[in-house]
Amino acid sequence: MSIFNLSSKKPTPEDLAHWCRWLGWTGLVLQALLGFIPLLVITTRIFTSQQTGGFGLGLWLAMGCLLVLLFSIYWCFRYTRLAARLMQPDRRPPKSAVKRALKLGLLTNLAILSLATSIALWQVSAMTLRLLSVPQGATVLAPNGVVTSAALITPSNMITIYAMISTIAAGLVGLIVALLLIYVVGRHRLAQDTF
């Protein structure tokens, strides 16, 4: 079944259901795997921030981004349920409802990409400014001894950047899934609003 071949026949509702099921499960698994590290990092930051004095704007944005990612993972699961409904002619949703669900998935993943990219840029900019504040070739004296300028970037900074890159990758997976499903549904051309 070559649904992406432009010369092929228009897809049937069963073809659409197949692609919704396959892409829904693929998106769910990949987003869950990519979202594990950000979930771990945010959970750790929440518990350590309560001990050190509160939440900053970056942590609130990261929690919002993680909530949107969790919704996107759930929405990929909804694609699989949509596939089950497409397989049953008596429960088949109208084409407009399917398009609306796919557009919501698309917008959700665009929000993930926007938020995660903004947070990652903010974090990288803050680390760059810290490094640029140290004169070239200088060393920094810390209370526990001499530290070189490279130590201004801590392992927790790098884990945070990695978590943001994982979140961006998860958003990209969700975006690709939504775009592919929109393409497949768009190939099914009927004048009426049914499949």
Spatial CA neighbour of 170 closest among 124, 122, 117: 117
Here the tokens at position 64 are: 């919002």
According to the model, what pLDDT value does residue 141 have? 59
According to the model, what pLDDT value does residue 43 have? 87
According to the model, what pLDDT value does residue 191 have? 47
According to the model, what pLDDT value does residue 193 have? 60
DSSP notation for 127-177: HHHHHHTSPTT-EEEETTEEEEGGGGS-HHHHHHHHHHHHHHHHHHHHHHH
Rounded to whole angstroms, how far apart are CA atoms 11 and 149? 60
According to the model, what pLDDT value does residue 6 have? 47
According to the model, what pLDDT value does residue 194 have? 64
**Mind listing the pLDDT tens digit of every residue in the chain (195 residues)?**
555 554 556 778 888 999 999 999 999 999 999 999 999 988 888 888 666 666 677 778 888 999 999 999 999 999 999 999 999 989 899 988 999 999 999 999 999 999 999 999 998 998 888 878 777 776 665 666 555 555 577 777 788 889 999 999 999 999 999 999 999 888 876 545 666
Q: Which residues contact 65 (CB under 8 A, 6 or more apart)?
A: 38, 112, 115, 116, 119, 167
Q: Which residues contact 76 (CB under 8 A, 6 or more apart)?
A: 24, 25, 27, 28, 31, 105, 174, 177
According to the model, what pLDDT value does residue 168 have? 95
Alpha-helical (H) ranges within 54-154 are 57-87, 95-132
